[in-house]
Structure 1
Amino acid sequence: MNKLDSLSPFELKDVLIKTAGGDVTVFRPENRSMLNAGRGNPNFLSTVPRHGFFQLGLFAMRESERSFAYLPEGVGGFPKRERIEERFELFARENKNTDGIAFLRGAVSYVRDQLGLDASEFLYEMCEGILGCNYPVPDRMLPLSEKIVNHYLRNEMIGNQPFIDKFDLFAVEGGTAAMTYIFNSLRTNYLLKPGDKIALGAPIFTPYLEIPHMSDYRLEVIDINADKDRNWQYPKTELDKLRDPTIKAFFLVNPSNPPSVKLDNESLIYIASIVAERPDLIILTDDVYGTFADDFVSLFAVCPRNTILVYSYSKYFGATGWRLGVIGTHRDNVLDTQIAALDDEKRIALRKRYQSIVPDPDSLKFIDRLVADSRSVALNHTAGLSTPQQVQMVLFSLFALIDTSDSYKTALKRLIRHRKRALYRAIGISLDDKEEDDTGVDYYSILDLEEIGERIHGRKFAEWLISHINATDLLLRLAREAHVVLLPGQGFGVQHPSGRVSLANLNEADYKRIGQAVRTLMEEYVEQYNTECPGESLSKGKVSSK
């Protein structure tokens, strides 16, 4: 066992980067001396809504400068609602050939004609928001912004599924903030306490594995293990663990990280049947990769009353630096029901906690408790995601809503899947038998030592490989000898020796180089195998006929 095996994969990443001769303080995907496929920061981004953002900023500045124009010192004022739509049309005509203008005109039209919202109110909210000249009001999310993002999430997360009533959104600083706030508020509101059991859908994004064991929470974790031989779906025998009434919550990432596979329809239906028997079960689904999937349906769509939805704009729009995410809860949810059913001692404690922000603390919804807790309650009046961030979130949402042919989504899926083919082709593995499966998302891929060894050189070599080679040692060799950085699969709850490769942050030729590096290393292990097992020697580069 390597002494580095206990490190979080994101801490081990820094060790691997140093081993590969890189700088851990700077993200440089274009650095040709090192190929860092460890972190999932995409090297693509959505340009159209960004052009729209900057043009909207120029229009907002024009609106601001209409006030206090008599002052030469550069003082502006708040935009004015009256006739703002007319002034925007004039601005758009004057700049009709400028990138971003056609998108903005389309966005205003879509908001007015398809969503039925007031265009002047929308433009005012966007202008005031992009100028950042007022506190976020309401603090949970700007009113029209919430409605627009709500439509986007319905389109991407719910689709054609029947969905009764509405859901509330809290705009947050990305998926990481969402995780932090949710864990904290579940504990603060006595929905989870030390010693409680929670289930984690494994493999899963590492912080979900680590946070429950921290001293703040001290939760008992039950793993719901996906089966790699069933294309990373959860067997019913694993999902049946959720029938245990002592398990308070089930957390999962869907599509999964790192397998990059969405729950299939059979799994969604089966989980919904368990929830029907266990209406007290709390579910958190982190669906950041859902927008890369074909016909994605979230657990939030099939179990809305029990499910907290987390969505981040970071990966799909190439916006990790923007820190944009939302938390969603159904208006009628199990969280509020369980809080209302707390014993008198706990309810009195919570009344004292929230009494400074509402006259009737008992009626405060869980999602609004999240907002207050995010600012230690005392600073609730200054809570909320910055308004320029909310504006960019809205423009991303409108861009996707207007793109009814999904041309942007299709381009990203094509880009990523070409990279995956280049990677595996260089290793020496055909993906023809996997590419037809519609549950695959391919944002990440797991390089499974056992699978690679067996598919290229047969079962006996694969067994020897996993019994002789430590996965961390292999990753260190890749970093040292080939300047390739991958993350360990075990750090995400993968139960077998593997490395996680992000297919989002390098170019196709780079993935070919990574595949060649893995192939070269495997051939060296073949030489070692031939030395130790001379009666069963293999030829380097010869693919098994298994």
Structure 2
Amino acid sequence: MAKSDKSGSGDRAGMAALSPFELKDELIKAAGGGAVERPANLSMLNAGRGNPNFLATIPRHGFWQLGLFAMRESERSFAYMPEGVGGFPKREGLEERFEIFARENKGTPGIAFLAGVVSYVRDQLGLNAGDFLYEMCEGILGSNYPVPDRMLKLSEQIVAQYLRREMIGKHPFVGEFDVFAVEGGTAAMTYIFNTMRENFLIEPGDTIALGTPIFTPYIEIPRLNDYKLKVVNLEADVAKGWQYSKAELDKLRDPKVKAFFLVNPSNPPSVKMDDESLEYIAGIVKERPDLILLTDDVYGTFADDFVSLFALCPKNTILVYSYSKYFGATGWRLGAIATHRDNVLDKQLAALSKDKRAQLHERYESITTEPDKLKFIDRLVADSRTVALNHTAGLSTPQQVQMVLFSLFSLMDTPDAYKNALKRLIRSRKQALYREIGIAPEKEDVNQVDYYTILDIEYLGERRHGREAVDWIIKNTEPSELLFRLAKDARVVLLPGRGFGTQHPSGRVSLANLNESDYTQIGRAIRKLMDGYIERYNKAAGKKADKAK
């Protein structure tokens, strides 16, 4: 196929500048769907977006039952008014009334979980059960502002315990950390970039490093007029299991690099950074204690024995976590930012020039009598509401309650039954996909997470068809042409890997949002497409051989 041969729907080469998430809409149109088609449209297989088709049911049952209990408590306060007026729950006797509610509703889905939650909070976390129930009841009713605005008091402690278990695990960790509840990982990214800029931690012309491939907004945000940052890419090597070589990591030694942004496990390769690389970065941080790290670990809960960079370099690292994928909660918009209480960000703020500190003093003086002592994470909170609205900042309290119930569900699941079930589910889907493509999966890699898989045309195509055939395909096709042909001919939608910073033509397949039989169909469609290109290559090679005669 010549490069001029388009697959319809306009000039594909002209779409190269589009974000993969915007290009997805064009691919959906090519597949005969609308831009807002859901995976439920069975005539089209959209493996382009990472929204899982599974979700955690037990903590959701608990949420609804807690809501019913909270409503009963609210109605007690104004029981004399028949017009549907309720009030705030009463703290006195709340724990006893909950026990009565639990007995009355024994056997109802969610009740046993809630009873277990109260017991766990009291007996394992050492918190006051009555205080916890009051915070949860008031929170789920949404009857008050979030106080404290960064995160409800006990909710922060519980979420911190969850992050300790999932992000730090058994790794030694000294000190405490603060948590800011935010509207998903995307809000975390927005707030962090903005506050770093507003506080002169990054300025136009500064250099940051990105661990690529990476979630596309991390590539796009630094280019915006708001930031105008220079970017150094640390490129993971597909031939080495998507790990970073020491030569790539050594780029962080350059004092011009102010910060390193990483998604771990990676997106889209879905591979966690190996222990050797984590230790190597920790060694660089010892030499460069000024280096700021940001690790976005949304997929860490799908990995085996995951340890975050936050665990090894807590004083230099901003941890971003989202509940969206693991609990099937993208619509809830639940995320968290965590920073160690002794961190490099606060040290750099204190070391700013007199003029810059004066500017920041003026910026934050309306919300505290000691602006110079305001921690970075609390500046995030203030900046999230343009400072002037700091008194109304904070994630909505019903969202925080669901976040807490998700966290407790995981903390109480000591055998990791839910986690292991999800791992089996997505890994079985991957096996079905590769089996039908006709490529045996690589030897099992302990660092693979498999939430996504990236089909690298150059790497996988060479294994199945040889180097010469792959070179011909790359030379004779536009970067997105294969994806458009797949969409038009087979109604299969994938995202372009190049939009995430991969170096070769590729497609990202989400293994979370379709059923196993669908991945079987996708595998067959990919094999059929590639066989068609190989047939054209063989004809071209035959003609070339005839001319040579």
Q: TM-score, normalised by structure 1?
A: 0.97
Counterparts of 1:407-486 in structure 2 under 5 Å? 407-431=417-441, 433-434=442-443, 436-486=444-494
Give the counterpart letter for 2:77 in structure 1. Answer: S
Of residues 355, 366, 385 in structure 1, which corresponds to 2:395? 385
Instruction: Give the C-alpha shift of residue 535 in structure 1.
Output: 8.0
- Residue 471 of structure 1 deviates from its aligned partner by 3.1
* Unaligned runs of at least 5 residues, structure 1: 538-546
Give yes or no for the alignment of 1:22 onto 2:33. Answer: yes
After TM superposition, give the deviation of residue 536 of structure 1 in Å.
9.6
Instruction: Name the CA distance, whole Å, in 1 between partners of 2:429 and 2:270.
Output: 14
User: Take 2:85 and 2:333, find their aligned partners in 1: how far apart are those partners?
Assistant: 30
Over residues 303-356 of structure 1, what are the superposed CA-to-partner deviations in whole Å (9 max), with x where a residue is unaligned?
Answer: 000000000000000000000000000000000000000001000000000000
Residue 158 of structure 1 corresponds to which residue in structure 2?
Answer: 168
Paired residues, number:
534
Does structure 2 conserve the Cα–Cα contact (< 8 Å) formed by 1:157 and 1:296?
yes
| Correspondence list, 1:113-152, <5 A | 113-152=123-162
Cα distance change of structure 1 residues 482 and 360 upon mapping to structure 2, 3 Å threshold? same
1:355-382 Cα shifts (integer Å, max 9, x gaps): 0000000000000000000000000000
Instruction: Return the match for 2:376 from 350, 366, 370.
Output: 366
**Partner secondary structure for residue 55 of structure 2:** coil
2:327 counterpart of 1:317: yes
Letter in 2 for 1:4: M
Deviation at 1:470, TM superposition (A): 2.6
Match of 2:241 in 1: 231
| Partner Cα distance (1:417, 1:200) in 2 | 28
Distance apart, 1:140 and its partner CA: 0.1
- Residue by residue, what CA displacement relative to the aligned partner does 1:21-46 show, whole Å, maximum 9, x if unpaired? 112124x2121111100010000000
Does the 8 A contact of 1:449 with 1:465 survive in 2? no
Partner-residue secondary structure (3-state), 1:29: coil
- Report the 3-state secondary structure (helix = DSSP H, G, I; strand = E; otherwise coil) of the residue aligned with 1:3: helix
Tell me the equivalent position of 2:514. Answer: 506
The residue that corresponds to 2:43 in the other structure is 33
Mapped to 2, the partners of 1:62 and 1:24 lie a distance apart of: 43
Residue 7 of structure 1 is matched in structure 2 by: 18
The verdict on how the C-alpha distance between 1:328 and 1:536 changes in structure 2, with shifts beyond 3 A counting, is farther
Percent of aligned pairs sharing the same letter: 73
Counterpart residue number, 1:93 = 103
* Residue 73 of structure 2, aligned match among 55, 63, 83: 63
1:197 alignment partner in structure 2: 207
Q: Which amino acid aligns with 1:518?
A: I
Alignment deviations for residues 42-88 of structure 1 (CA, whole Å, 9 cap, x no partner): 00000000000000000000000101111110011100111111000
The answer on 1:400 being equivalent to 2:410 is yes
How far has the Cα of 1:457 moved from its partner? 1.7
Matched, 1:338 2:348: yes
**SS in structure 1 of the partner of residue 453 of structure 2:** strand
Deviation string for 1:113-143 (max 9, x for gaps)?
0000000000000000000000000000000
Distance 1:536 1:115 in 2: 73
Structure-2 residue corresponding to 1:299: 309
d(CA) in 2 for partners of 1:420, 1:505 = 12
- 1:244 is aligned to 254
Contact 1:48 1:100 in 2 (8 A): yes
C-alpha contact 1:68 1:76 (8 A) present in aligned 2: yes
**TM-superposed deviation, 1:463:** 2.3
Task: Quote the residue 2:179 is aligned against.
Answer: 169
CA pair 535-405 structure 1, distance change in 2 beyond 3 A: farther
Q: Secondary structure of the equivalent of 1:285?
A: strand
- Please state whether the residue corresponding to 2:509 is helix, strand or coil: strand
Alignment-derived partner of residue 524 in structure 1: 532
Unaligned residue ranges in structure 2 (runs of 5+): 1-11
Amino acid at match of 1:10: F
2:366 is aligned with 1:356: yes
Give TM-score scaled by structure 2 length: 0.96
Q: Deviations over 1:91-132 (max 9, x none)?
A: 000001100000001111110000000000000000000000
Quick check: 1:478–1:485 contact (8 Å CA) kept in 2? yes
Q: Which residue of 2 aligns with 1:49?
A: 59
Matches of 2:190 and 2:420, distance apart in 1 = 32
Runs of 4+ in 1 over 6 A off after TM superposition: none
Please give the per-residue CA displacement for 1:503-541, whole angstroms capped at 9, x wherever unaligned: 00000010111111100011111110111102899xxxx
CA distance in 2, matches of 1:474, 1:267: 34
Match of 1:497 among 505, 524, 532: 505
Superposed displacement of residue 430, structure 1:
1.0
Question: Equivalents in 1 of 2:431, 2:93: separation in Å?
Answer: 54
SS in 2 for 1:65: helix
2:6 alignment partner in structure 1: none
Compute the RMSD of aligned alpha carbons: 1.0
CA distance in 2, matches of 1:288, 1:217: 24
Correspondence 1:79 to 2:89: yes
Q: Report the AA paired with residue 67 of structure 2.
A: G
Trace 1:267-286 onto structure 2 (pairs within 5 A).
267-286=277-296
The residue that corresponds to 2:541 in the other structure is: 533
- Quote the Cα distance in structure 1 between the aligned partners of 2:284 and 2:165: 26
Q: Distance in 2 between matches of 1:178 and 1:259?
A: 22
For the 8 Å contact 1:450–1:465, the answer to whether it is kept is no
Against the structure 1 CA distance between its residues 525 and 350, is the aligned structure 2 distance closer, same or farther, given a 3 Å change threshold?
same
Q: How far apart are the structure 2 equivalents of 1:274 and 1:469?
A: 42
- Please give the secondary structure, in 2, of the residue aligned with 1:223: strand
Mapped to 2, the partners of 1:300 and 1:451 lie a distance apart of 32
1:135-193 deviation line (CA, Å, top 9, x unaligned):
00000000000000000000000001111110000000000000000000000000000
- Code of the aligned partner of 2:361: R
What amino acid sits opposite 1:439 in the alignment? N
The one-letter code matched in structure 2 to 1:512 is: T
Tell me the amino acid that sits aligned with residue 392 of structure 1: Q
Say whether the 8 Å CA contact 1:470–1:497 is kept in structure 2: no
- State how far apart, in whole Å, the 2-side matches of 1:536 and 1:389 are: 64
Structure 2 residue identity aligned to 1:521? L
CA offsets, 1:370-427, max 9 Å, x none? Answer: 0000000000000000000000000000000000000000000000000000101010
* Partner secondary structure for residue 321 of structure 1: helix
Cα distance change of structure 1 residues 536 and 443 upon mapping to structure 2, 3 Å threshold: farther
Mapped pair 1:266 → 2:283:
no
What one-letter code is carried by the residue in structure 2 that aligns with 1:182? I
